[in-house]
Amino acid sequence: MSVGPPLTVVNGRIVGRSGEPVAGAVRCEDGRIVAVGDVAPQPDDVVYDAKGLIVAPGIVDLAAFAIDKPAFHFGGISRAGLMPDQSPPLDHPARVRFAAQSGKPDFWVHPLAAATRGLEGIELAEFALMCDAGARAIATGRQWIADSGTMLRVLQYAAMLDLVVFCHAEDGGLAGNAVATAGEIATRLGLPAAPPEAEALAIARDVALAEMAGARIHFNKVTTAGGLDLVRAAKDRGLPVTAGVSPAYFMLSDLATADFRTFARLQPPLRSEDDRKAVRRAIADGTIDVISSGHDPRGPEEKRLPFADAAPGMAGAETLLPLTMNLVREEVIDLARAFSLLAAKPAELLGVEAGVLEVGAEADIAVIDRDRPWIVDSREMEASAGNTPFDRQPVQGRAVAVFKGGMRVGVKQAG
């Protein structure tokens, strides 16, 4: 890790684990936070004046499909978990090791190891060796492992190593080649669709298997009322089950696909308005633990196709922060809860000492103007491709400075 001179961020409003932001400063040495609160800079410190803005932990984007450092820096993201769906998949220690080093020197990449070889859902990959190479968790990738015996062995092996298993919650047999959620919109458009119960069935099975194995399990995206009810019930029983979601599922319903907009072609597909409201309630009541970008940029060759043929995915790193800030402005959650969802809980699941502004934590810091307005423009995004369903939408909230290990990294200031 690159380590710069001591840093003190002064005149900020510091986001803690609870309550409103508190005026104060954060001091860092040797890449870690050494003091928070009523802190004065030392004579040799680099001093950054936050000018009354929010000082928050750098965002930890839990499950991205691509590493776009300019887009992540723009979005206040200091580290990301990388899904194993790469080319080739992260199913071998050498590939995991390369991925873990790929963000240096100005970004942390935490690879998630493939649960099965080639992500084919058949033969288990070598978790222990990939863990030694830098893997922070195990993931099934974009696919559900259909064979229950295989999935049980994945969970048992992960439990032995105390690794979380990240699951895709969509019963493949029921979902098939669907590109939409069954309902009025899919029927009008004539799109192949799957019932929302495909999510609930996958969650029900995997929770049961995780309980048998004594494993920790995380569902990357839980997007339906039925699925959220199952997660809520598992938590109530004390099981180590966590759930995530991406902003598209609390901002949009399947109405966004009504004109065949392939930028709204996602996996899982956008849901009904009732499900969208259920996601918001689940964020408010703690059923959802993580909000991540699902960053998956797709170029025009993959998106300018008929809806059913277009690749699923969106560039989400740059809009993760402002769309989550919508929930704060609408009083669904407070700012402390927002950064629990964006930073503290993701860091906990990855087992990294980050995501909080506390003494001893790694000095990943984002200075944020929570009210700064800007307009999402797919033509000017920092991501490698600007496919976003939020194109031309006005938003509020921007990172104006990001520090990795106490060293400032690039944030585009224009716009």
Residue 272 CA to its chain's centroid (Å): 22
* pLDDT in the model for residue 3: 66
Domains and CATH numbers, the chain: 59-350 (3.20.20.140)
Quote the pLDDT of residue 411: 54
DSSP, res 209? H
pLDDT of residue 410: 76
Angle subtended by helix axes 197-213 and 225-236, to nearest 10: 20
Q: Please give the angle made by the CA atoms of 162, 164 and 166, to the nearest 5 degrees.
A: 160
Average pLDDT, the chain: 95
Q: Residue 50 — very low, low, confident or very high, per pLDDT cuts 50/70/90? A: very high
Instruction: Give the rounded percent of residues in the chain with a pLDDT score beyond 90.
Output: 91
Amino acid symbol at 61: D
- Our CA angle for 331, 329, 350, nearest 5°, is 80
Q: For residue 87, is pLDDT > 70?
A: yes
Residue 124 in tokens? 């288990």
Query: Stretch 286-301: mean pLDDT, rounded?
Result: 93
pLDDT of residue 414: 38
Q: What is the mean pLDDT of residues 242-271?
A: 95
Task: Identify the bridge partners of residue 82 per DSSP, sorted by sequence position.
Answer: 64, 111
Residues contacting 87, CB < 8 A, separation 6+: none
Task: Calculate the CA 100 to chain-centre distance.
Answer: 17
The C-alpha atoms of residue 104 and residue 303 are separated, in whole angstroms, by 30
Q: What pLDDT is attached to residue 102?
A: 93
- What is the distance between the alpha carbons of residues 273 and 252, in angstroms, rounded to a whole number? 8
Q: What is the spatial distance between Cα 169 and Cα 201, in angstroms, rounded to a whole number?
A: 8
pLDDT tens-digit readout, 186-210: 999 999 999 999 999 999 999 999 9
Return d(Cα 269, Cα 113) in angstroms, integer.
25
Lowest-pLDDT range of 184-193, 296-305, 404-413: 404-413
pLDDT class of 413 with cuts at 50, 70, 90: very low
Token pair recorded at residue 69: 């450092």
- pLDDT for res 415: 36
154-158, 296-300, 332-336, range with the lowest pLDDT = 296-300
Per-residue confidence (pLDDT) for residue 2, from 0 to 100: 56
